[in-house]
Amino acid sequence: MAGMPSHSETPTFPLTVGFDLDMTLIDSRPGIKAAYEALAAETGVHIDADLAVTRLGPPLERELAFWFPEEHIQEMGDRYREIYPTYAITPTPALPGAREAVTAVRAAGGRAIVVTAKHEPNAKLHLAHLGIEPDAVIGWLWAEAKAEALREHGASVYVGDHLGDVRGARAAGALSVAVPTGPCDAAELREAGADVILDDLTAFPAWLAGYCETVAARA
């Protein structure tokens, strides 16, 4: 589904586009599964890693709450983040069109930022490993809290795969561009209020070109 700015959006130039990380720019399922399996082996606590990677998006502690008592969640979260670079970075590929999407923003004279719920140092490791170089990476933000970074950086577009990403974009007054490459399908994303639905990021450069033309024509 194509989409252009409506009366409720206030695009700004120079352009800044925000991207989510997990299941938007990267397919983090193999790496996260490996990290969960390592944590389970270390602690002796069963974690259904195959199930866990079907519901990526929310903060880590929400998933750990399914497997550990409340009093151990913070400790296990810290340990997971500690072992994560060893197990999760190398197996994790970029999703189709991810590099090209970031490049398209730059080609349009804009800035590309990543705003994610992931532990920021680990997010940066993923991007460096894959050769994706955004202008800024901001971690530890989920759903509406993402609006803080989007507003701070003047983002007029936010691209994500989760209902929480749509909520973050809307809270920031940014155009919500959604890709059903994560746990949420197109109908769910549309119902949540996404302004634009793309099949995946391979469609993003063409969409962005049209968006920029429309904004320029209105200027």
Q: What is the CATH number of the domain that holds 43?
A: 1.10.150
Q: How many structural domains does the chain have?
A: 2
Question: What CATH number corresponds to the domain at position 128?
Answer: 3.40.50.1000
pLDDT of 6 over the 50 cut = no
Q: Which of 88, 118, 137 is the last residue of a domain?
A: 88
User: For 157-180, what is the mean pLDDT?
Assistant: 99
CA distances from 208 to 16, 109, 201, 218 (A): 12, 12, 11, 15
Q: Which two structure tokens, joined as six digits, stand for 180? A: 């059903």
Q: Which of 53, 71, 88 is the last residue of a domain?
A: 88
Gap between the Cα atoms of 40 and 8, Å rounded: 47
Length, in residues, of the chain: 219
pLDDT of 1 over the 60 cut = no
Q: Which two structure tokens, joined as six digits, stand for 11? A: 């695009």
Domain housing 180: 16-27+93-218
Cut 0.75: pTM above it = yes
Residue 13: the pLDDT is 65
The predicted-structure confidence for 38-89, as pLDDT tens digits, reads as follows: 999 999 999 999 999 999 999 999 999 999 999 999 999 999 999 999 999 9
Q: Is the peptide bond before 69 cis (omega within 30 degrees of 0)?
A: no
Average pLDDT, the chain: 95
The residue whose two tokens read 């809270």 is 171
User: For 165-169, what is the mean pLDDT?
Assistant: 99
**9 located within any domain:** no
